[in-house]
Structure 1
Amino acid sequence: MSSIKASKDALRKEIGARIQQLGNEEKTLQSNKVVQKLFALPAFRNSNRISVYLSTENEINTENIVREIFALNKKCYVPRYNRQVMEMVRLNDMKDWENLPLTKWKIKQPLLSERRENATDTGGLDLIIIPGVAFTRDGKRLGHGAGYYQ
């Protein structure tokens, strides 16, 4: 194992342990702060076709991001995974989001059997909001290690 990979793995474990120690109220407070900062960014305000990951309990909660996308009449796309392949497919509204089934990892995801608009087939995306374990102040990202967002 390379020393860089080992360092990243150790950092993921350390940050994961810190997140586990936070109470639900603190997680909600921190999520809301991040989401409000996102809403103020010109990149968000000026985008029409937005992809957003659907969060797990230890990530920034993205439900309010999805709500805001629909409230602003923007188009919302979410990841759908099939083994090592990920595509960004369209959600129609909040009811659609609410009815999404959970994967074995407890992540909401559209069924593979459902026909949905794929962002790459219909004009691409203006903004992609991706998950991360940690970020530096200048925007560098430490992901979960699966390589989906490389």
Structure 2
Amino acid sequence: MNIDKTTIRKKIIEKRDSLSKEEISKKSMSIKESLIETSEYSEAENVLIYASMRNEVITDGIIKDALSKGKNVFCPKVTDKKSRQMTFVKIENPDDFVKGYYGIREPLITDKSVICKDSGLNSLVVMPGVVFDRSRNRIGYGGGFYDTFLSDHSTFKKIALAFDCQLYEGSENGSSDEFPCELLDEHDVKPDKIITEFEII
């Protein structure tokens, strides 16, 4: 049976959307605790992190933790949809967001905004995704924004957050927990780690 990214996305999003608010909150707390104990997070001076929406792993607590520890916190802002460009804008407050591209919570860009540059500082990107396999391959929402950004910032460390139900379990007629080769693209950027409520991959 042929399987494509659209089919996989739909199936996994349905699974994720079936989680209750209580489940999402509890699982997100476990993921947060695992993340903040990693060396990548504790050593990071810059934390580039998405503002969670819908039934994604909740990042509000991580953002508050990073700010409380004096880290520079940057959140993504789509700047050019056609060329899949986004930038990360520094925030000072967990509520510094407005509705942006596809209803995503984004920071405003003003003439006083600080944009994250590829510097010598220790930087960690905390990234979302729709589905992952155990080789850390990632299928996102289809925009390609993170792949474009990370290909230009190869020195940044990368950790993806996902619920266990977002791990690929293979097709119905197969047992492999890795994506079929035809779904992989040479431009896809893997996270260094994936954190779920149960494990770090």
TM-score (ref. length: structure 1)? 0.85
Structure 1 residues 70-109: Cα deviation after superposition (integer angstroms, max 9, x where no partner): 11111101111123320111112x2xx3142222633221
Change in 2 beyond 3 A, CA 1:42/1:110: same
Greater helix content? 1
Please state how far the C-alpha of 1:115 moved relative to its aligned partner.
3.0
Runs of 4+ in 1 over 4 A off after TM superposition: 121-125
Match of 1:82 in 2: 79
Cα shift at 1:125: 5.7
1:118 to 107, 115, 120: 115
8 Å CA contact 1:82–1:112 kept in 2: the answer is no
**Between the two proteins, what is the percent identity of the paired residues?**
24
- What amino acid maps onto 2:39 in structure 1? P
Aligned pair in 2 of structure 1 residues 42, 125: CA closer, same or farther (>3 Å)? Answer: closer
One-letter amino acid matched to 1:38: L
Counterpart check, 1:49 vs 2:68: no
Alignment of 1:66 with 2:63, yes or no, is yes
TM-score calculated relative to the size of structure 2? 0.65
Q: CA RMSD in A?
A: 2.0
CA contact (8 A) 2:12 2:130 kept: yes
Counterpart secondary structure, 2:106: coil
Q: Which amino acid aligns with 1:82?
A: T
Residues 1:127 and 2:154 are matched in the alignment: no
Measured after TM superposition, the shift of residue 136 of structure 1 is 2.6
